[in-house]
């Protein structure tokens, strides 16, 4: 089953944070459906998120969570990316 690299943006008061996830799905459409279902519960405290294009808003539009991209990848490439962004290179 193919693996997909999911990039989600979370925007609160003009501050943007990006989240990266890896998901296995039979195709890109199934991956998107699964990610949107996951995103609907992105902030557990808000029981009534509002659906927007490619995402949801929480806390009366104070927080926007959007699907930025889905691309096919491998676990190895995803791990390399995570290692790169979480490694401090002092040389």
User: Does residue 89 carry a pLDDT above 90?
Assistant: no
Residue 82 in 3-state DSSP?
Answer: helix
Side-chain-side CA neighbours of 53 within 13 Å: the count stands at: 0
Q: What pTM did the predictor assign?
A: 0.88
Q: Is residue 90 part of a domain?
A: no
Alpha helix segments (H runs only) across 41-91: 75-85
The pLDDT tens digits for 25-57 are: 999 999 999 999 999 999 988 989 999 999 999
Distance, CA of 5 to CA of 19 (rounded, Å): 10
Angle subtended at Cα 10 by Cα 62 and Cα 84, rounded to the nearest 5 degrees: 160
* Domain limits for position 78: 3-85
Q: Is residue 91 part of a domain?
A: no
* Total domains in the fold of the chain: 1
């Amino acid at each position: 089953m193919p693996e997909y690299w999911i990039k989600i943006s979370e925007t609160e008061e003009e501050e943007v944070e990006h989240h990266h996830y890896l998901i296995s799905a039979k195709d890109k459409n199934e991956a998107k459906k699964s990610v949107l279902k996951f995103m609907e519960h992105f902030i557990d405290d808000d029981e009534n998120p509002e659906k927007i294009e490619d995402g949801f808003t929480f806390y009366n539009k104070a927080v926007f969570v959007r699907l930025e991209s889905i691309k096919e990848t491998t676990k190895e490439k995803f791990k390399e990316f995570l290692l790169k962004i979480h490694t401090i290179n002092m040389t």
